[in-house]
Amino acid sequence: MIEELDPASPTGAAGRQAPALISVVVPCFNEEEVIEQTHQALVRVLSESGENFEIIFVDDGSTDQTLHLLKQLATRANGHAKVIALSRNFGHQFAASAGLDHASGDAVVLIDADLQDPPEVILEMIGRWREGFHVAYGRRTHRAAESRFKLITAKCFYRLLNYLSDTDIPPDTGDFRLMDRKVVAAVKAMPERDRFLRGMVSWVGFRQVAVPYQRQARAAGESKYPVRKMVKFALDGIFSFSTKPLRLATWLGVATSTLALLGICYAVVVRLFTDMWVSGWAFLVVAIFFMGGIQLLFLGVLGEYLSRVYQENKGRPLYLVAEKYGFDEGDQPGDDSEILGTSS
């Protein structure tokens, strides 16, 4: 993914000298403890950048004081804050999508609310974008205070995903990244419900570059990603970026059928030409369980794809906006299109 730039090639922001508008999208779910600190850090860093900026906080149905605090930020002079409140908790990927849909910047940065992604890295990302890259994605070189379990499962997951999928998704990356307007437009044009944004951004192509950074411990509060959500996210990644599990069923079917055929030949030979015919109940039981297990497993795999077809087919909006604050066009949703999260 990392590439050197050909200086002669036409590129995103290269050569542009006037300050651009940078949108920073921050999905927030029950982040009352850090939100003020995050806002301050973002304003400080972005003021240093010399660019114009807006910070779009997306409240993903928080049940604590997050939305209340965000509303105050939106009214603060020179706070640069805009707020989108979703109608309920839709999940990080949908909240991020809502932010992308409402961002008007020449480049959009996606960052977590908990300061695990250091805001200072944004300056380097803007620098890379100014050089002409369309995507500058954060690559974690070190992850402070994350459990061994999370590190090991993440590593295995990205190995598996890259083996299964044709899209090259760089390991050790999260959603912390800067995207050029072109890339944002491309992602917005992808209406799928299985939103695995880091995969989608890899899929669109353009010029992408890694920006190494050290992932910090959460500034405050607890992770909003329990194991259950992590597993769902991992399955979304695999099933929306690969159909290889379906093919695996075919290959396993071929393998077991071949075995069965060999078994039949063996039985016929033993029955006709030898007197070693014994009843093998243990073998039978194992074979039955084995076949039953494989069939159920792949019924499950089929179900995963089928349920995704079903969900896509319903064509529901990705998210619903309850309220907006700090946007020019008025704070409350005006017409239907304002609340519906249909990308593009």
Q: Does 60 bind ligand UDP (CB under 6 A)?
A: yes
Closer of 106 and 112 to ligand UDP (Cβ) = 112
Tell me which residues in 270-309 interact with Mg ion (CB under 5 A). Answer: none
86 binds, among ligand UDP, Mg ion, none (CB under 5 to 8 A by kind): none
Other Cβ atoms closer than 10 A to 179: 31
> From the CB of 226, what's the least distance to ligand UDP, in Å?
9
Q: Does 165 bind ligand UDP (CB under 6 A)?
A: no
Where does residue 5 rank: exposed (0-12), middle (13-18), buried (19+ CB within 10 A)? middle
Q: Does 28 bind ligand UDP (CB under 6 A)?
A: yes
Query: What token pair was written down for 144?
Result: 């402070």
Other Cβ atoms closer than 10 A to 191: 13
> From the CB of 225, what's the least distance to ligand UDP, in Å?
4
Rounded Cα distance, 111 and 120, in Å? 11
Q: Does 116 bind Mg ion (CB under 5 A)?
A: yes
Other Cβ atoms closer than 10 A to 251: 10
Rounded Cα distance, 193 and 316, in Å? 9
237 binds, among Mg ion, ligand UDP, none (CB under 5 to 8 A by kind): none
241 binds, among ligand UDP, Mg ion, none (CB under 5 to 8 A by kind): none
Query: What token pair was written down for 327?
Result: 């946007």
Q: Does 27 bind ligand UDP (CB under 6 A)?
A: yes
Q: Does 57 bind ligand UDP (CB under 6 A)?
A: no
Q: Does 32 bind ligand UDP (CB under 6 A)?
A: no
- Give me the residue label for tokens 């949908």: 94
Where does residue 164 rank: exposed (0-12), middle (13-18), buried (19+ CB within 10 A)? middle
Instruction: Figure out which of the listed residues 45, 95, 200, 204 binds ligand UDP, where binding follows CB under 6 A.
Output: 95
Instruction: Figure out which of the listed residues 106, 114, 180, 236 binds Mg ion, where binding follows CB under 5 A.
Output: 114
Rounded Cα distance, 51 and 17, in Å? 10
Rounded Cα distance, 210 and 128, in Å? 9
Instruction: Figure out which of the listed residues 42, 67, 113, 122 binds ligand UDP, where binding follows CB under 6 A.
Output: 113
Give residues in contact with ligand UDP (CB under 6 A): 27-29, 31, 60, 89, 91-92, 95, 112-114, 116, 223-225
